[in-house]
Structure formats: structure tokens, C-alpha cells
A and B are shown apart, each in its own frame.
Chain A
Amino acid sequence: MTTLAEARDGAGPDAAGVLDAVRRTVLLLANEAGARPELVRVSVGDVAVEISFGAVPPVPAAVPTADPSVGSVVPTPQTPARAALTSPAVGVFYRAPEPDAAPFVAVGDTVTEGQQIGIVEAMKLMIPVHAERAGRIAEELVADGAPVEYGEPLFALDGG
């Protein structure tokens, strides 16, 4: 993001500066293959550019209990006893792509690994939520439009 600051430093945003910032940002992201920039919003002056790299494999080991560095820590109350699909980011959780659209998944649905199960909005970034594992949705744990933390369980799974 340093590139944006540099582009902003001049007397004002100009087309060349904006393009250069975008170009460098895209290059930076492309170099970081394996990271997960599903969607990036670049804002220089009055110009905003959104970049989406399309479907990216979900990040593994996002289930809190799978974190090896906290092995002996007492689980927090939010840690589920059964398998769960968790939030990849802090933000507001949405179950459907649009306010009146059908939800991505519902109780009883079978999901496959990598399937989109919701959206987390963080500072106007729409971050797709993908299932980290396959299974059948047993319970919705978070209401549509509710704030979520990183790693917060969204759906309980049967057979996960």
C-alpha cells in the first residue's frame, strides 16, 4: 500500500500517478501468489478501482482449534465442539449475494470444499467466504447482517 502513498504525495492525483499506483499494486498482489486477494479496492484521490482475482482456493487451517500454537490454551466459548465453517475476516456476515437473493447455503445443504457459503464485508470490501471443508450444514450459527470476528464459526457441519 506504500505505492498509494507515493502516488498521493504529489500536488494532486493525476492520471499517470493513478495508473502507476494501480499497476504496481496489481504486480505486488500477483507476486504474492498464495495470498488471498479475492477483491481489492484501490483508492487514489477521487478515483477508486476494484480488483478481483476471481476464485482463489480457501486458506487452510482457519479453524481455530487447528492452530498448533495454541495447543494448551483453554478453548474460548465460541470454539465449537463439532466441525464448523468459520469466517475468514473481521466484518459483517451476509448469507446471500444480495439483500433479497436466496442464501448461498441453507440447513440441510451439502457443501463441497471451496464452495462459496457467504460474504464478509470489511470496510466495504466484499470478501467471499468459502467452505474450508465438505459436509452438510447442520445449523446456522450467525444471523444475516451480524458482525463476525476472524475464525468465528458461521455454520455447524455434520460429517465435517
Chain B
Amino acid sequence: MFGTVLVANRGEIALRVARTCRELGIRVAAVHSTVDRESAVVRYADETVQIGPGPARRSYLDYAAVLAAAERVGADAIHPGYGFLSEDPSFAEACEAAGFTFIGPPPKVIAALGDKTAARALMAAAGLPLLPGEPVDDVTRAAAVAGGVGYPVIIKAAAGGGGRGMRVVQCAADLADAYLRTRAEAQALFGDDRVYVERFLPNGRHVEIQVLADAHGNAVHLGERDCSVQRRHQKLIEETPAPGVPRDVVARMGEASVRGALAAGYVGAGTFEFLLDDAGDFFFLEVNCRIQVEHPVTEAVTGLDLVAEQLRIAAGEPLGLTQADVAPRGVAIECRVNAEDPARDFAPAPGRLDAFTVPGGPFVRVDTHAYPGYRVPSAYDSLLAKLIVWAPDRDTAIARGRRALADFRVDGPGVHTTAGFLRDVLADASFRAGTHDTGLVARLQSQPETQEDS
């Protein structure tokens, strides 16, 4: 196992990774920007290095600064967390070249799976079902493909991910404009304007499979997470098991994911994302080559520490479990409490936290980097805390989630959170019935008054 791990991230995930390192007896070093110099992980880590100013481009995204910090602290390995450098194959390669183990898949695998066009081809060859569609490089071809697969379609950046660089097109008249906009956006966001057109499932369920693969050709899946509660392709609530999805469908998705992981030469923790239609047919969307925000949901039902698994795999150890050992139990729900104002279309609402108290009680986990007096910076994403609740059944988990959300105390000048909105989602009839889809948040937002039952 590693002696020292450098955590190349910030916020709740940096602290979460650092905690597991400490449990495993690994010395943990943290990097931080000037904005984050008083952050929780900085207080927690054994050693810290200030690597740059607030803008991520000159700190958390700066290869040389992160690698110089790794050298300075004597790191054996670098954990990239999620976002930032976590799915950057060039950074992974630079780590290896500088003599540090990158905690993630091999650079070539990240590169292949990060390109959605290449990933589609790879997974099609491995026998995974795909929504009809293909890459397009001019507007005529885009119109032809869209006509062929049938409207509505979605245009996606080949290099995209994280819900950015995609656009739904309802009819042929809107296609040309949407095609040009998505290409321009893809160029601006990812420096790569390649796009493809795919059939869009308007009321699809977003269900993903967690996989673990070691460097010795073993892979298992750890069941699914339903991430259908989304706002503009950004997830707000995730849960497992996926309500209403037959277990044999989940089992087939899991088998397909393991097959895909082995075909790709995947090593580490990864997620296979699928869209699921009403008929129980599922379609491969993409692979996320990182630990995900919602990984605690899987941890809650499997009893596994996914970051510990990542560290063991990166250190070259074989998986300590087989598929038969994976026996998820109960229901887990994660709610993302963001520093955003739902009344102002979820605009970021950062600021200093005069009060910050998190819920507790049985089967309640809160992953957060915030504390009373913490200043939520405007320079980074607005995730403030993740609430994860577990219960033997879904009704109890929902009640526990609503109770715990109500127990959050977050106050500060200008600070708002999504906790109240998330309570409304948990109270929604379609959510409770487990029949909701990715359109739920938009429907709730269009309601003038939020529900105020208990």
C-alpha cells in the first residue's frame, strides 16, 4: 500500500478521500488554492501545499503545480477525486511519467472512454445496447441521421460529459441551429467540436452501474444507482435500488457493465451510465472514469468503502471480493445540498456560514467540507453537503431523508441551499411511488408554491 497519497482536489471529496487514507494508515497530503487555505481538508491533512490562486486553471487544474506538490510531499500516488483532473488522460500520463501512481484507470482507457464516439464503438463491440445514432460532421449529415433515428434527438459533444455540451432537438426545424450551437459549445467547453446525434428518450430513467476492476483481469459490479432526479442534466438525488426496475433488468445491466469494463481494459472504480425506457430496455450512455459524487449510496448498501477499493486496486492488489460476495441490503438515498437559491432558478448563493449544523441520528451520513464560519467560495461548484440516508425499505428512507434535510441548519448573509427543495422532491407523489423520470424537477419548479406538509 502507498505511504503518502496526495489529494488533488477540494471540497467534500478531498476530505472524504483523506479520511479513508488515514484509516488505511496512509499519510495524506492536500493541495489548495489561496481561496481554500482555511478549508476542512487543509485542517485535516498531514501536510498541505498551496499550489496557486483561486481560479482552478492556475491551481487545481495546473499539472505542474500539482506534480510539484506531489514531489514536495514525497507522494507515492495522486488521488484526483472527481471533476478537475480526474478524467484527464494527459494528466494521468504526466503522473506516471513523473513517477506517481494515478489513482484511476490507465491513461489510454480514460482517453478511449472519454471520447463518446470511441466509447460507443467499444461498447457496441462488447455487445452493449446503444441508442441509435452516430457521429456527424456537417449539418446535412446531422439532419439525415436525426431523420433516420426519429425525433426527438439529442446532440452531444463527443468530448463532453457531466451533463454539459448536449442539446435536445424536438423537431427538424430546430436541428440546424441546435447543431451549430452544440458544436460551438463543445469547442468552447472541451476544445473539441466533434458531435454526434442520438435518439432521445424524453421520459427515460437514468440508471448507472458501479463497477470495480483490478489490474489482474477481475471485475465485479456493485449494483445500480438511479439518478433520475436531475435539473438540466445535473443530478440532485440518487438512490439504490432503482425503484420499480425489475431485478433481472438490473442484473443484465450489471453483467453488461462488467463485460464492457473488461473489454475496455478498465482498472479501478468506474460507472456505466444507462438510459432505461418503460419497456425495461436499457441503452449505454457513457462510462465515468472516476469516483462519483453519488458513490456513498453504493457504499451504504454494500458496506464497501469505494475509495479504499480504489486505493487497493491502484496499489496493484487483486479484488478482495467476487460477484457472489456482493449482496446489497436495504435502500440508500443521497441528496445533494447545494449553496444555490431554488427561488432564483438555482443561482449560486455562496457566502459566509454563520450557522452550519448537520443532521445526525441512525443511518444518516453527511459528507461535507463546510463548518460554522466557513466561507463558501464563488470560485468553485456549489456542492455544500451530501446527505446519505439508509433504511431497510424505501418509505422509511424517504421519511428519514425528509427529517434529516429539515435538521440542516445553514445560515449566512446571502446564503441559500437546496435542502428545502429536496424535501419537496422527496414528498412528491411520483417520487414516492418511484414512477418519476428526469422531468420531475422541471415540473416541480413550474409549481408556484412549494409543498409545506410535514
Tell me, yes or no, whether A binds B: yes
Question: Are B67 and A69 interface neighbours, CB within 8 A?
Answer: no
Check B49 for interface membership: any CB of A closer than 8 A.
Answer: yes
Q: What residue in chain B is nearest A89 (Cβ atoms)?
A: B65
In the assembled complex, the CB of A28 is this many whole angstroms from the nearest CB of chain B, namely 9
Choose one: B37, B38, B63, B72; the contact of A1 (CB below 8 Å). Answer: B63
Query: Interface readout for B23-55 with A: 1 if CB under 8 Å, 0 if not?
Result: 000000000001101100000000001111110
| Cβ-defined partner of A70 (8 Å) among B34, B64, B111 | B34
User: How distant is the Cα of A4 from the Cα of B352 in the complex, in angstroms?
Assistant: 41
Q: Is the Cβ of B68 less than 8 Å from the Cβ of A91?
A: yes
Asked if B249 lies at the interface with its beta carbon under 8 angstroms from chain A, I say no
Q: For the complex, is A152 an interface residue (Cβ under 8 Å from B)?
A: yes
Contacts of A73 in B (CB 8 A): 37-38, 375
**Closest B residue by C-beta to A122:** B68
Q: How far is the CA of A73 from the CA of B35 in the complex (A)?
A: 9
Of the 9-residue stretches A50-58, A98-106, A143-151, which lies at the interface with chain B?
A: A143-151
Closest to A78 in B: B50
Q: Taking A5-B111, A70-B35 as contacts, is the C-beta distance between A150 and B65 under 8 angstroms?
A: yes
Contact B111 A90 (CB under 8 A): no
Partner of B59, one of A43, A70, A150: A150
Contact B37 A76 (CB under 8 A): yes
Cβ 8 A contact of B93, one of A5, A62, A76, A91: A5
Is the CB of B89 closer than 8 A to any CB of chain A?
Answer: yes
Question: CB-defined interface of B363-392 with A at 8 Å, one 1/0 digit per residue?
Answer: 000000000000101110000000000000
- Inter-chain contact A4/B90, CB cutoff 8 Å: yes
Known contacts A62-B53, A90-B72, A150-B51; A122/B64 CB under 8 A: yes
Are A123 and B59 in touch, CB under 8 angstroms? no
Q: Give the contacting residue for A90; candidates B34, B49, B191, B377; CB below 8 A.
A: B49
Give chain A's interface residue range (CB within 8 Å of chain B): 20 to 34
CB-CB under 8 A from A147, the residues of chain B are: 72
Given contacts A4-B90, A70-B37, A73-B38, contact A123 B64 (CB under 8 A): yes
Counting CB contacts under 8 A, is B107 at the interface?
yes
Residue of A nearest to B73 (CB): A147
Instruction: Give Cα A24 to B372, complex, Å.
Output: 47
A74 adjacent to B38 (CB under 8 Å): yes
Q: How large is the interface on B (under 10, 10 to 19, 20 to 34, 35 or more residues)?
A: 35 or more
Within 8 A of A (CB), among B324-377: 352, 375, 377
Task: Assess whether A133 is interfacial by the CB under 8 Å rule.
Answer: no
Interface bits A44-85 vs B (CB < 8 Å: 1, else 0): 000000000000000001101001011011101000000000
For B38, the chain A residues whose CB sits under 8 A away are: 70, 73-74
* B429 beta carbon closer than 8 Å to chain A: no
A150 pairs with B50, CB closer than 8 A: yes
- Complex CA gap A67/B71 in Å reads 27
Chain A residues whose C-beta falls within 8 Å of the C-beta of B51 in the assembled complex: 90, 149-150
Query: A-facing mask of B72-102, CB < 8 A → 1, else 0?
Result: 1000000000000000011101100110000
Q: Which residues of B contact A149 (CB under 8 A)?
A: 49-51
Once the chains bind, are B50 and A152 in contact (CB under 8 Å)? yes
- Asked if A107 CB lies within 8 Å of chain B CBs, one says no
Give chain A interface residues in 1-43, CB to chain B under 8 Å.
Answer: 1-2, 4-5, 8-9, 43
- Report if A123-B53 is in contact (Cβ < 8 Å); known contacts: A90-B69, A150-B59: no
Expressed in whole angstroms, the minimum distance between the Cβ of A4 and any Cβ of chain B is 6
Interface 1/0 per residue, B181-210 and A, CB below 8 Å? 000000000011000000000000000000
Q: Are A123 and B67 in contact (CB under 8 A)?
A: yes
Closest 8 CB pairs of A and B: A122-B68, A149-B50, A90-B68, A1-B90, A5-B90, A150-B52, A123-B67, A91-B68
- List 7 contacting pairs A-B, 8 Å CB cutoff, sorted by A: A76-B37, A89-B68, A91-B68, A122-B67, A125-B64, A150-B53, A151-B53
